[in-house]
Structure 1
Amino acid sequence: MTMRTGRRRGLFRTAGLLAAGLAAALTISACGGGSSNPLDTSTSAAASGPASGSAAAGGGKIVVGSANFPESALLANIYAAALTKAGLDASTNLNIGSREVYIKAIQDGSIDLVPEYSGVLLQYFDPTATAVSADDVYAALVKATPQGLVVLEKSAAEDKDAVVVTKATAEANNLTSIADLAPVASTFILGGPSEWETRPTGVPGLKEKYGLTFKEFKALDAGGPLTLNALLSDQVQAGNLFTTDPAIPANDLVVLEDPKNLFAAQNVLPLIRSDANNAQVTEALNAVSAKLDTATLTELLTKVAVDKQDSAQVAQEWVAQNLS
């Protein structure tokens, strides 16, 4: 199971956006973090702030929580907007903190549900888990989820590690997947966080699963501006970014497919307390998962983190346009 940085369950990553030579800093994550994110200016889809959770099954208010990074707050706002559209009384309590904190908040009833990522949530509930594919991770997660909690349907949207190249490099070398690097890896410099040099999901894993031996590994950062700048300036020919990073579409970069699942699946899905769930809640949230994919999440996150649009408004507009 891949983890981004030395921290077991979280990271705030900074990704530089370069267009026409200009870099702008972002801080985004898929796995939760431990401190407040200054770029998160999102608001709730209904009423945000401290709340005491309540059971949807009893007709009460549903409180949607989030971790303290923009992508999680955006997803929470989407869930709240979808529930509201379905006729339920939903509010948000955003930027709660790390996974340890917000899962406790679900369990004690302070909130009712939270957006999560399948791979890291499975690892949280079962540190011995070895599943990596989307379906296998989800199946294992359903079994590992503690009594009193339930995960609903997974979406196609993922925020996970990726090996990324420029469009020019991809076209020049016919690259669509990591496996396609085999003929050229010996001439390529690979860039990524320093821990990639020894981590099973870094250089050793690329060699073991794909038979790749790169010309050199250059220690840079965890999907941040150093890696992005190095890719764009051809200092490295392949680098580690994250799949919902707005820098990828902004710079026309190519995410190489991972057919051998070196990086465990990280599908976005709702984690909800069982007594806050019912058929109406499940239907509303599963409808979100059915429509949400990585490209869509990236586009929405760009509006929030780059264009500085209000997170709740972005969520409400997407729900209005995509959910019947």
Structure 2
Amino acid sequence: MRTSLIARTSAALAGLALALTACGGGGDPLSSGSGQTSGAAAPNDTVVVGSANFVESQILAEIYAQALSAKGVTVEKRLNIGSREAYIPALQDGSIDLIPEYSGVLLQYFDKAADETAPDAVFTALQEALPDNLVVLDKSAAEDKDAIVVTRETATQLNVKSIADLAPQCANLVFGGPPEFQTRPDGIPGIQKTYNCSFKEFRSLDAGGPLTVAALKNGDVQAADLFTTDASIETNDFVVLDDPNNNFAAQNILPLINKAKASDAVKSTLNEIATKLTTQNLTALNAEAAGEAKPSPETVAKNWLSQNGLA
């Protein structure tokens, strides 16, 4: 970083901590007022909804939770858990029951050799790869992929429109992203394998959050991993590089749930959500959350459910 790395990082971390606290992210998300912690399953008549530690996942989890509650299902929320590496074990031990997921990366989590990239092929392979106690419900048309993003200035200076264009320059560039991106099959290993792109340095930041956006804007990293529905891309005029060799597989939004909690009422409610969720309105949900009023994920979800007749 060019000037005051420590000062900027400290300020960003402080802002992130405040944001997470405002979203109910304080403390251990796998603990509840009932005293349950990781490893303690919820009652049979309760669906515990979890989320990853970024706003889009929290919004989707709120949509699931509020819709189920409106249908009379007893719901408990344990949001902002962390990465997939943290919440999948919680699903498997029953600490949580339901979480919004992304088809392609979920498939690669359970089958690291998976090479399917098209939406239907990914969905079919995913159903076969899941452990016996987990099931996915209908996938939505909404899709949010990881993407390699650069500033407009960098794209112009290097004359790049795709990851393939970037590959000859990778050795001179610092890349930023969430810690797990360094080892995931479609992360740094996939980019190296698919495009022969080996970055000068990997800088561990956050999952499509303020640290990554700030580092890219400030030039502390020259390329970064962001989600394609992230409102900061349009706000900052970032450039999403094309992925012509399909390093990033289809990433349709779908519910991942413990099979024992997938009752008819739960399935019908979540499948109805899937019919209404699109990439366009997912991007709009992120933009609303990032807007000047900074509404909570709970409020953003409530508005969307009302607008779509699901409240």
TM-score (ref. length: structure 1): 0.65
1:1-324 correspondence runs (5 A): 39-42=20-23, 49-50=33-34, 53=42, 60-85=45-70, 87-95=71-79, 97-98=81-82, 99=84, 102-107=87-92, 109-167=94-152, 177-179=162-164, 181=165, 190-193=173-176, 209-210=194-195, 217=200, 219-222=202-205, 228=213, 232=217, 238-304=223-289, 307-323=293-309
Give the Cα separation in 2 of the matches to 1:84 and 1:207. Answer: 45
Deviation at 1:64, TM superposition (A): 1.9
Report if the CA contact (8 A) 2:63-2:301 is conserved. Answer: yes
Report if the CA contact (8 A) 2:186-2:247 is conserved. Answer: yes
Give the Cα separation in 2 of the matches to 1:105 and 1:210. Answer: 34
Deviation at 1:41, TM superposition (A): 2.7
Change in CA separation of 1:25 and 1:236 when aligned onto 2, cut-off 3 Å = same
Q: Which one has a larger percent helix, Structure 1 or Structure 2? A: 2
Deviation at 1:132, TM superposition (A): 4.1
Deviation at 1:114, TM superposition (A): 1.7
Which amino acid in 2 is paired with 1:79? Y
Runs of 5+ unmatched residues, structure 2: 1-7, 26-31
Runs of 5+ unmatched residues, structure 1: 1-15, 17-22, 28-35
1:240-267 Cα offsets, whole Å, 9 max, x none, are 4333433212212232332321124443
Identity among equivalent pairs (%): 46
Report if the CA contact (8 A) 1:39-1:70 is conserved. Answer: no
1:202-229 Cα offsets, whole Å, 9 max, x none, are 788557645779xx85655546667645
Give the Cα separation in 2 of the matches to 1:319 and 1:209. Answer: 40
2:22 counterpart SS class: coil
Change in CA separation of 1:288 and 1:174 when aligned onto 2, cut-off 3 Å = farther
Give the Cα separation in 2 of the matches to 1:205 and 1:102. Answer: 23
Give the Cα separation in 1 of the matches to 2:227 and 2:21. Answer: 18
Give the Cα separation in 2 of the matches to 1:77 and 1:310. Answer: 10
Number of residue-to-residue matches in the alignment: 284
Report if the CA contact (8 A) 2:110-2:130 is conserved. Answer: yes
1:72 counterpart SS class: helix
Which amino acid in 1 is paired with 2:23? S
Report if the CA contact (8 A) 2:50-2:81 is conserved. Answer: no
1:262 counterpart SS class: coil
1:64-114 Cα offsets, whole Å, 9 max, x none, are 2334544333221110122234x2324232237354664455455554322
TM-score (ref. length: structure 2): 0.67
Change in CA separation of 1:309 and 1:197 when aligned onto 2, cut-off 3 Å = closer
Which amino acid in 1 is paired with 2:303? E
